[in-house]
Amino acid sequence: MIISGALAALCLSVAWDLQREARARMELRWGVVLAVPLLAGGLIFGLRAARALLSPGTIVAEVAADSGLNVAAAFGYLIIALVFQLTLVALVVTRGVVELRRSSRYDALTGLLNRRAMQAALEEQAQRSRRLGEPFSVLMLDADHFKTVNDVQGHAAGDRALQHLGTVLAAQMRDIDRVGRWGGEEFVVLLPGASLAQAREVAERLRERVQALPLRWQDRAVALTLSAGASQWSEAGDELSALLARADAALYRAKAAGRNRVEAEPAPGTPRVGLVS
């Protein structure tokens, strides 16, 4: 009874884990394929344990008897054990593949898209805009005085500050927006469908939110601020590198003007004379 109950619990537990993993990764079909044999095994062992509990004398007599039922049960145990082992292997491999995919797309420290994935998202949006004429804007964000945080509070505090910034930024994004860590303390935001004025509003909201939520570090509040530069994809012949350069130039002006502020490139149609490069 104890063995059957334990096997039933184990089969059902692993089947549940498989379904949860499959649901999280949108691979329900494979989750069902792997979980069904374990569910069946869990049901069989559960019924056997219940029968042993309700009628212990009968089950003892059946086990002691030299019958085909016992042979079939032993064979069933072997099959269930084999399925269980194969399922565990599949689960380990699946998790490994998922983690590999995640590490290739996401920044390990902040959990945001990494530079490679962000570059791919920007290029995909640029292609869509060329094809459909859909506008979009880009924000370049930089944490102000980040070196001071590292020097005064330590590198552990600096890492925690980047995590904090990543969390705050991600919480303000729409489902269609993308935010990534571009490198160091610099972040990039992709705003599909946004005009330059809308992008500036988003940047102001992000700046205000970061300023309003200081980092809690060792029972102290560490003030953090952002500077931001905004640019808009405005022409069918626009290049992504030029778009990013304009956002970076606007960010540079925000830094030069005192930090903790937002600057934008000139509105579309305005001559770009005298821009800081």
Residue-wise pLDDT tens digits, 249-270: 999 999 999 999 999 998 655 5
Q: Which pLDDT belongs to residue 124?
A: 96
Query: What is the separation, in whole angstroms, between the first and last Cα of the chain?
Result: 77
Tell me which of 241 and 36 has the higher pLDDT. Answer: 241
Residues present in the chain in total:
277
Rounded mean pLDDT of 138-146? 97
Max intra-chain CA distance, the chain: 96
- The full set of domain ranges for the chain reads 2-105, 115-264
Residue-wise pLDDT tens digits, 16-59: 565 566 555 545 455 555 666 666 666 666 666 666 666 665 55
Q: Does domain 115-264 have CATH number 3.30.70.270?
A: yes
Residue-wise pLDDT tens digits, 69-111: 555 665 666 666 666 666 666 665 555 555 555 556 899 999 9
Catalytic residue set:
185
